[in-house]
């Protein structure tokens, strides 16, 4: 009954079938539409991607509030209750997110309701009303959510981290205050909507099962939206970090400290990005990472630790994030820096390199598994102004990267003196 | 329609396969029929701690995660009151690695004092992160023992801190012997595989593991609650919160579908009655939700929400009760009934588009008795009538069957 070690099955090479650039069409008003057709299920997704993030705001919360009000304030033809009823009646999942550069509005629905969903999206997204009473109600609720999130060391540390690396006056780094939630008025929303929910700011992504006459339908519902005459808000300058590189924010009664360590870094369009992604993965980008093995599986300081490499329009950033038992706070910080320095000094051993390579290659496979995943992966490169060849070069880089290159990249992009360390937790 | 092939090995291991050649990947789930309900009341949290220990290597595999990642796999696991589920995705060409890894740890994980101490620390940090260091994080820890007096659902899956600390190697070994047998396990695979190959692999890797006697599940039945229960706590949080829990039926009983739609009428999507009336119209709550715990034994229907500042508990409860009373007295309009059914159906389809979602759903149905329920359950929902919802509301949503937690803000953090 005993299985011998030699019984270990062989590991087969992981093949990646890359998908070429998606089909692109253009609506009558020049709105580009990318189509990723496919999948076994009768499900369709449409994403409305608008260049309407924090950087285009006149006052804080403007972009996210416009997006949130779409289903809260009603439209020209429908009340908010009617909108929500119809969405649920047809089983349409309607979702909005806003970040530093973009607002993304997504609808996922059964393919048989294609035209119904498009019609409804058109009404909700492009003909909204912003009544004062509903706005006030939403902002009071959001304020409470904000106050609750302010009780979490994870939120406190993350907010201060971004303020530190991007600067407190830059839209990338701005930290909200309670007053921001009470200041916003319907006129801010109307102005913002009429300027940014426009063809010149918009790109559509259609994925899943799409009918052959998709283009006609899209043009019918979104092709006649008019351009706004006038320029968008001037892009802010590149963000600059604050001088202070070590920050401690006390949180009374906390039983864990949240640690955030990182800095600004290169964007996805930089040729070194894929290599940096590999280094980031080794350090803390997957469960087998060095940080996870050290701080969780050896020392038991934390439930989990991850590091992230994220690219935005104006800057990228590296971030190591964890929550640790309060008595381990200083030890954990020390170990994190130890692991970074180790990556800069000692070559990665062959087995670890093989593991991270195979993990990353199969992760690439997951990124193209089905039309929705493919559409998301495409959007990621599209946002950075590059194309799908990024993934082919990334696969090449994963296969070819050497231990020496890893040392070189770790030294070039993790500058110990430049890293910010932000901790929120109980006083020592 | 999801196409299934099933077989049962001689040792009682059930294997379920869904072939899907549209993906280069495969997803694998192993459900062991053991959860926190099987624990000794003096050693709670053991099922979940054990789940952690299953990743610390076995006789021929000292490093489970490393070996899986070497083959391009990725995994996770969860424990709840009833079951423990280990799941992974892997390029289908390396599916045999999953068999190698999972069969080796089914024969017995290699747990040392060192790994036990380490994972206790990790679990305690998980406990702090999820329950102690979050606003309202301890609410469910308080609600369970209020609602259950006898049944093991009275303790949370994460367990008690002092219990986790005192687990010994021999506790762990006993637990393994009692529950981690092939005849107490369901293996489900979906993806780019052939069922014949999978059944052969199952026999090759798991076939020689011996069937064992598994501790029978004989749990004390929770007596009927016939008096309302209230608990008030004060915490340093920004807003008052309200939690209500009613005893309902178990997951396998026919009323479950009716109750599930009832909670959807209350709180599914943004059009649910609670959102529409209590948040938008009356502005009493900032957030509110209703759901079933969905446990195998009789579970709970929970409504939980945070009150807007300045709203009294009395006002909030009165308006909430009005909505519940209406469910008992007035049949739900057909259009609204149709809405929650449509919405359920769409969600039902979306959650199994991806192979991982599909194996999790399939294994859950097999736990309920038959994986092929995945194709017929929608009919059970379609058959629910407004009258059935009304009757279920009247039967279960009685004040004397309800436990209420008033989670009060000390006021220090309010604006």
Mean pLDDT of A227-233: 89
Q: Judged by CB atoms within 8 Å, which residues 191-230 of A form the interface with B? A: none
Q: What is the dihedral of CA B8, B10, B11, B13, to 10 degrees?
A: -10
Lowest mean pLDDT among A96-105, A224-233, A418-427: A224-233
pLDDT at A40: 81
pLDDT score of B386 more than 90 = yes
Lowest mean pLDDT among A9-23, A238-252, B16-30: A9-23
Exposed/middle/buried for residue A386 (C-beta within 10 Å: 0-12, 13-18, 19+): middle
- A152 contacts in chain B (CB < 8 Å): 133-135
Q: Is residue B224 part of a domain?
A: no
* Nearest chain B residue (CA) to A137: B283
Backbone angles phi, psi at A305, to 5 degrees: -145, 135
Question: Would you tell me how many other CB atoms lie within 10 Å of the CB of residue A277?
Answer: 18
Q: Is residue B153 part of a domain?
A: yes
pLDDT tens-digit profile of B89-139? 999 999 999 999 999 999 999 999 999 999 999 999 999 999 999 999 999
Q: How far is B263 from chain A (nearest CA, A)?
A: 14
Instruction: Work out the mean pLDDT of chain B and round it to a whole number.
Output: 96
pLDDT at B215: 80
Work out the percent of chain A whose per-residue pLDDT is above 90.
93
Does one domain contain both B258 and B390? yes
Number of domains in chain B: 2
Distances (CA, A) of B254 to A16, B221, B381, B384: 46, 19, 10, 10
Of A71, A91, A143, the CB nearest to B345: A91
pLDDT score of B334 more than 80 = yes
- Chain-centre distance of CA A405, in angstroms? 28
pLDDT score of B414 more than 60 = no
pLDDT at A114: 97
pLDDT score of A18 more than 50 = yes
pLDDT score of B413 more than 60 = no
* Nearest chain B residue (CA) to A73: B280
DSSP state of A292: I
Mutate to test the interface with A, among B20, B103, B353, B412 (most CBs of A within 10 A): B353
Burial string for A201-210 (b: 16+ CB within 10 Å, else e) reads bbbbbbbbbb
| Collapsed DSSP state (helix, strand, coil) of residue A323 | strand
Does one domain contain both B72 and B145? yes
Cβ contact, residue pair A300, B71, below 8 Å:
no
Q: Is residue B78 part of a domain?
A: yes
For residue A54, give the nearest of A171, A211, A167, A215 by alpha carbon.
Answer: A171
pLDDT at B412: 60
For residue B245, give the nearest of B376, B183, B153, B108 by alpha carbon.
Answer: B153
pLDDT score of A19 more than 80 = no
For the record, the structure tokens of A424 come out as 């929120």
Distances (CA, A) of A216 to A25, A115, A210, A212: 11, 10, 12, 9
Decide if A106 touches B, using CB distance below 8 A: no
Cβ contact, residue pair A365, B24, below 8 Å:
yes
Exposed/middle/buried for residue B324 (C-beta within 10 Å: 0-12, 13-18, 19+): buried
Work out the percent of chain B whose per-residue pLDDT is above 70.
99
Cβ-contact A100, A171 below 8 angstroms: yes
* Boundary of a domain, candidates B175, B206, B237: B206
Q: How far is B63 from chain A (nearest CA, A)?
A: 10
Does one domain contain both B152 and B237? no
pLDDT score of B14 more than 90 = yes
pLDDT score of B44 more than 70 = yes
pLDDT band for position B302 (cuts 50, 70, 90): very high
Does one domain contain both B163 and B260? no
Q: Whole-model pTM above 0.90?
A: yes
Exposed/middle/buried for residue B141 (C-beta within 10 Å: 0-12, 13-18, 19+): middle
Does one domain contain both B397 and B264? yes
Q: Is residue B211 part of a domain?
A: no
Q: What is the dihedral of CA B59, B64, B67, B71, to 10 degrees?
A: 130
Structural domain containing residue B332: 229-409
Mean pLDDT of A358-365: 96
Mean pLDDT of A300-322: 98
How far apart (Å, rounded) are the C-alpha atoms in residues A398 and A401? Answer: 6
How far apart (Å, rounded) are the C-alpha atoms in residues A9 and A356? Answer: 19
Decide if A6 touches B, using CB distance below 8 A: no
Does one domain contain both B47 and B192? yes
- A301 contacts in chain B (CB < 8 Å): 121, 125
Domains in chain A, CATH or no CATH each? 23-222 (3.30.830.10), 246-425 (3.30.830.10)
* Boundary of a domain, candidates B191, B206, B221: B206
Q: How far is B23 from chain A (nearest CA, A)?
A: 6
CATH code at position B243: 3.30.830.10
Does one domain contain both B263 and B195? no
Cβ contact, residue pair A178, B283, below 8 Å:
no
Instruction: For residue A307, give the H/E element and its range.
Output: strand A302-311
pLDDT score of A5 more than 60 = no
Of A1, A41, A303, the CB nearest to B129: A303
Cβ contact, residue pair B347, A91, below 8 Å:
yes
Mean pLDDT of A214-242: 93
Cβ contact, residue pair B283, A91, below 8 Å:
no
pLDDT score of B75 more than 50 = yes
Q: Is residue B222 part of a domain?
A: no
Q: How far is B226 from chain A (nearest CA, A)?
A: 35
Does one domain contain both B32 and B166? yes
Q: Is residue B170 part of a domain?
A: yes
Decide if A82 touches B, using CB distance below 8 A: no
Contacts of A217 (CB under 8 A, 6+ apart): A114, A115, A118, A211
Mean pLDDT of B63-80: 97
pLDDT tens-digit profile of B257-296? 999 999 999 999 899 999 999 999 999 999 999 999 999 9
- B128 contacts in chain A (CB < 8 Å): 255-256, 323, 325
Q: Is residue B414 part of a domain?
A: no
Mutate to test the interface with B, among A91, A149, A351 (most CBs of B within 10 A): A91
Does one domain contain both B193 and B312? no
Does one domain contain both B42 and B81? yes
pLDDT score of A1 more than 70 = no
Work out the percent of chain A whose per-residue pLDDT is above 70.
99
Q: Is residue B280 part of a domain?
A: yes
Mean pLDDT of A39-65: 95
Instruction: For residue A301, give the H/E element and its range.
Output: none
* Boundary of a domain, candidates B149, B175, B206: B206
Of A9, A254, A372, the CB nearest to B100: A9
Lowest mean pLDDT among A4-18, A348-362, B235-249: A4-18
Does one domain contain both B120 and B268? no
Mean pLDDT of A377-406: 96
| Collapsed DSSP state (helix, strand, coil) of residue A378 | helix
Mutate to test the interface with B, among A1, A2, A3, A37 (most CBs of B within 10 A): A3
Decide if A133 touches B, using CB distance below 8 A: no
Does one domain contain both B180 and B250? no
pLDDT score of B415 more than 80 = no
Mean pLDDT of B233-257: 96
Cβ-contact B38, A257 below 8 angstroms: no
């Amino acid at each position: 009954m005993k299985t011998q070690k030699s019984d270990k099955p062989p590991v087969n090479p992981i093949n990646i079938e890359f998908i070429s650039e998606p089909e692109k069409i253009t609506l009558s008003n020049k709105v580009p539409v990318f189509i990723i057709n496919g999948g076994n299920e009768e499900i369709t997704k449409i994403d409305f991607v608008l260049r309407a993030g924090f950087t285009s705001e006149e006052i804080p919360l403007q972009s996210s509030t416009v997006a949130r009000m779409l289903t809260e304030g009603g439209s020209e033809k429908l009340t908010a209750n009617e909108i929500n009823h119809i969405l649920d009646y047809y089983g349409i999942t309607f979702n909005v997110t806003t970040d530093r550069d973009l607002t993304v509005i997504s609808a996922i629905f059964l393919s048989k309701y294609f035209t119904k969903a498009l019609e409804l999206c058109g009404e909700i997204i492009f003909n909204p009303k912003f009544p004062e009473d509903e706005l006030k109600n939403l902002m009071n609720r959001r304020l409470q959510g904000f106050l609750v999130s302010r009780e979490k060391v994870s939120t406190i540390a993350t907010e201060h981290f971004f303020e530190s690396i991007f600067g407190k006056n830059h839209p990338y780094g701005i930290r909200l205050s309670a007053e921001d939630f009470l200041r916003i008025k319907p006129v801010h929303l109307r102005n913002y909507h009429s300027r940014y929910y426009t063809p010149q700011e918009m790109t559509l992504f259609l994925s899943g099962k799409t009918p052959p006459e998709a283009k006609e339908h899209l043009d019918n519902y979104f092709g006649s939206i008019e351009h706004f005459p006038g320029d968008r808000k001037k892009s802010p300058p590149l963000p600059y970090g604050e001088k202070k590189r070590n920050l401690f924010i006390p949180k009374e009664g906390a039983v864990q400290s949240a640690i955030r360590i990182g800095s600004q870094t290169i964007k996805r369009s930089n040729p070194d990005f894929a290599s940096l992604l590999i280094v980031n993965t080794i350090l803390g980008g997957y469960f087998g990472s060095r940080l996870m093995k050290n701080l969780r599986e050896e020392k038991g300081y934390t439930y989990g630790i991850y590091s992230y490499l994220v690219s935005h329009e104006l800057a990228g950033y590296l971030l190591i994030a964890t929550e640790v038992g309060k008595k381990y706070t200083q030890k954990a910080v020390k170990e994190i820096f130890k692991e970074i320095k180790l990556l800069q000094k000692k070559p990665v051993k062959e087995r670890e390199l093989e593991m991270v390579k195979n993990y990353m290659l199969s992760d690439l496979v997951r990124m193209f598994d089905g039309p929705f995943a493919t559409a998301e992966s495409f959007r990621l490169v599209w946002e950075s102004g590059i194309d799908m060849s990024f993934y082919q070069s990334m696969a090449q880089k994963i296969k070819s990267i050497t231990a020496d290159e890893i040392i070189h990249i770790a030294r070039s992009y993790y500058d110990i003196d430049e890293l910010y360390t932000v901790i929120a937790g109980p006083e020592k | 329609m999801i196409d299934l092939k099933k077989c049962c090995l001689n040792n009682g291991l059930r294997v379920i396969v869904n072939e899907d050649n549209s993906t280069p990947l495969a997803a694998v789930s192993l459900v062991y029929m053991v959860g926190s309900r099987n624990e000794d009341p003096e050693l709670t949290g053991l099922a979940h701690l054990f789940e952690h220990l299953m990743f610390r290597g076995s006789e021929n595999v000292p490093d489970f995660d490393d070996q899986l990642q070497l083959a391009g796999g990725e995994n996770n696991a969860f424990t709840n009151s009833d079951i423990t589920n280990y799941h992974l995705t892997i390029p289908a060409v390396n599916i045999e690695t999953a068999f190698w890894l999972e069969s080796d740890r089914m024969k017995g994980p290699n747990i040392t004092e060192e790994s036990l101490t380490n994972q206790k620390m990790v679990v305690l940090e998980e406990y702090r992160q999820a329950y102690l260091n979050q606003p309202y994080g301890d609410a469910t820890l308080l609600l369970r023992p209020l609602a259950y007096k006898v049944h093991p659902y009275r303790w949370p899956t994460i367990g008690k801190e002092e219990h986790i600390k005192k687990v010994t190697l021999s506790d762990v070994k006993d637990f393994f012997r009692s529950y981690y047998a092939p005849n107490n396990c369901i293996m489900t695979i979906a993806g780019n595989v052939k069922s014949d190959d999978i059944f052969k692999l199952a026999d090759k890797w798991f076939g020689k593991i011996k069937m064992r006697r598994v501790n029978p599940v004989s749990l004390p039945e929770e007596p009927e609650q016939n008096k309302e229960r209230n608990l008030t706590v004060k915490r340093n949080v920004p807003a008052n919160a309200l939690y209500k829990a009613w005893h309902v039926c178990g997951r396998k009983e026919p009323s479950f579908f009716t109750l599930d739609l009832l909670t959807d009428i209350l709180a599914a999507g943004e059009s649910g009655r609670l959102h529409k009336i209590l948040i938008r119209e009356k502005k009493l709550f900032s957030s509110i939700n209703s759901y079933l715990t969905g446990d195998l034994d009789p579970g709970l229907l929970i409504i939980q929400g945070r009150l807007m500042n300045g709203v009294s508990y009395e006002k909030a409860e009165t308006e909430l009760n009005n909505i519940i009373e209406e469910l008992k007295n007035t049949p739900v309009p057909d259009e609204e009934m149709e809405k929650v059914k449509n919405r359920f159906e769409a969600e039902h389809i979306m959650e199994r588009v991806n192979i991982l979602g599909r194996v999790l759903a399939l294994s859950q149905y097999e736990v309920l008795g038959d994986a092929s329920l995945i194709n017929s359950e929608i009919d059970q929902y379609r058959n629910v009538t407004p009258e059935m919802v009304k009757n279920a509301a009247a039967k279960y949503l009685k004040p004397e069957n309800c436990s209420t937690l008033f989670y009060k803000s000390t006021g220090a953090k309010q604006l």
